[in-house]
Amino acid sequence: MSTPRVAFVAGATGYTGQAVVRHLVGLGVRAIAHVRPDSSRHSEWHSEFTSLGAEVCSAAWSGAELTEAVRDLGATEVYGLVGTTMKRARELGRRGGDAAAASHDAVDFGLTKHLVDACVAAGTRPWLVYLSSVGASPSARGSYLRARGRAEAAVEASGLPWTTLRASFITGPDRGESRPAERASAAVGDGVLALAALFGGRRLRDRYRSVTADDLAGLLVALPGQPEREGAVLTLDQLR
């Protein structure tokens, strides 16, 4: 008999994270949504996730709490979906907070590294699924892609079973956070890629076109346990 799936979702309150939790619950997987303990919407998130049939974990990112959570909850798969935006960092700075704490280096890389370290220290070898971005590289010029590249390297060096999926724009009409510039860029990009596909660029289109959180979540939750996906850095054209 196969081991029951137990999924720990870091970044569960994000657009993609919420969709991943919904998909896991729909598959009958025991899903644990991580909500940071200092979240201003903690009670709201707790109610939302439990109403879906998921559990909520509020372990602190640093220290032993995250390690203990991964181990004690019996997670067989862990999803790294954390991320931030420059807008969020600027807003934090305007409110008198530490903008650096919401930087790509601190969140996209730093929190992912905490997650990877916790999974290693747990000693239970869960399958790591990391959501990255097309163009990610430790030597990238932009802070976002550079942080994502460093996070990818941490995942790959973990010694755990892992799969990284690189996506482009993640958008959709159900996204609560307003990102008009991103939506406009996605629409323009999709139009250009559709034109390219007419001239033989179908793979290019499938790799770079935008994807909804729901479609992306369906791809992510299908990755753990697939031997051919272990240790692979994938792009959407390889799964669509």
**CATH no. of 6-168+212-238:** 3.40.50.720
The tokens for 121 are 């220290």
Mean pLDDT across 93-114: 83
Query: Higher pLDDT residue, 54 or 209?
Result: 54
Mean pLDDT across 48-56: 97
Q: What is the pLDDT of residue 1?
A: 42
Computed over every residue of the chain, the mean pLDDT equals 85
Q: What is the pLDDT of residue 2?
A: 74
Question: Measured in whole angstroms, how far is the alpha carbon of residue 208 from the centre of its chain?
Answer: 17
Mean pLDDT across 28-55: 95
In the chain, pLDDT over 70 holds for what percent of residues?
A: 79
Q: What is the pLDDT of residue 125?
A: 97
Query: Higher pLDDT residue, 84 or 37?
Result: 37
Alpha helices in 27-85 (DSSP H): 42-52, 65-72
Q: What is the pLDDT of residue 99?
A: 66
Q: What sign has the CA pseudo-torsion 133, 139, 144, 149?
A: positive
Q: Is the per-residue pLDDT at 93 higher than 70? A: no
Query: Please, which residues bridge with residue 8 across strands?
Result: 32, 78
Q: Is the per-residue pLDDT at 172 higher than 70? A: no
In angstroms, the CA 130 to CA 171 distance is 18
Q: What is the pLDDT of residue 204?
A: 47
In angstroms, the CA 118 to CA 236 distance is 28
Q: What is the pLDDT of residue 198?
A: 39
Angle formed at CA 84 by CA 232 and CA 215, multiple of 5 degrees: 50
For residue range 112-137, list pLDDT tens digits in order.
999 999 999 999 999 999 999 998 99
Q: What is the pLDDT of residue 199?
A: 42
Q: What is the pLDDT of residue 168?
A: 84
Are 192 and 209 in contact, with CB atoms under 8 Å apart? no
Q: What is the pLDDT of residue 196?
A: 41
State which amino acid sits at residue 85.
Answer: T
Are 34 and 11 in contact, with CB atoms under 8 Å apart? yes
Domains of the chain: which residue ranges? 6-168+212-238, 172-210
pTM: 0.85
Q: What is the pLDDT of residue 208?
A: 62
For residue range 175-190, list pLDDT tens digits in order.
555 555 445 444 444 4
Q: What is the pLDDT of residue 16?
A: 95
Q: Is the per-residue pLDDT at 238 higher than 70? A: yes
Q: What band does 170 get if pLDDT is binned at 50, 70 and 90?
A: confident
